Amino acid sequence: MKKILLLILFVSGVINAQETEFTFDNTKGMTDFVVTSVEGKTAPEIYKKVLDWIKLTYKNPEKVILSTIENEYIRFEGIDNTFYSVGIMGKNYRDVKYQIEISVKDGKYKFDLISMYAYWQSTSRSSGGWSEVTIFNGNSTKESLEKSIYNKSGELRGYYKYTPEVVIYYNKLNKSLFDSINTSSKNNDW
């Protein structure tokens, strides 16, 4: 009986386990979202700190905040050109537009990458413009990853070899938010 109870507890713990860092692998692609613990903080405190962080991190915070529900969630949009590159004749960075939703609860927040778009220049073969980069939306199947993203030996294909930089970027962004939430107000000792 004790063994059965332990097994049930173990299985429920594994099922309810939440990712704490973004990853990208050949079985599930990109982690859908991460949950970050911030002990001792209430949902309203976290919510306010997220708003403050957006105001400090983004050039035009009033334009990047797309939607809010006070003390529950904030959705915002960012643009960057330093982290998404494709392996076409070297390393070619793309302008990227992404949407992130931060949901807050007492003692934790969820950092959810909603969408990511890359800008492609027009060519004689395409009209160019913004195109969704679907491999980062958390909905990739093992079959699609093995067929198009990874080669037979399990390594990223040349076109996708810089994919880890995207994961690093979002983990750094989440770390920056975490640090901001856990930092007390500005230091007045200047």
* Residue 156 DSSP symbol: B
Supply the pTM of this predicted model.
0.80
Quick one: which H or E segment has residue 165? helix 163-181
Residue 55 lies in a domain: yes
Per-residue pLDDT at 117 exceeds 80? yes
pLDDT reported for residue 13: 39
pLDDT reported for residue 187: 61
Residue 3 lies in a domain: no
Residue 5 lies in a domain: no
80, 151 Cβ separation under 8 angstroms: no
Residue 17 lies in a domain: no
Domain hosting residue 54, numbered range: 28-181
Q: Give the orientation angle of helix 163-181 with respect to helix 43-57, to 10 degrees.
A: 120
The pLDDT tens digits of the residues spanning 25-62 come to: 877 778 889 999 999 999 999 999 999 999 999 999 99
Residue 7 lies in a domain: no
> What does the block give as tokens for 23?
């990853």
Mean pLDDT of the chain: 82
Residue 18 lies in a domain: no
Residue 188 lies in a domain: no
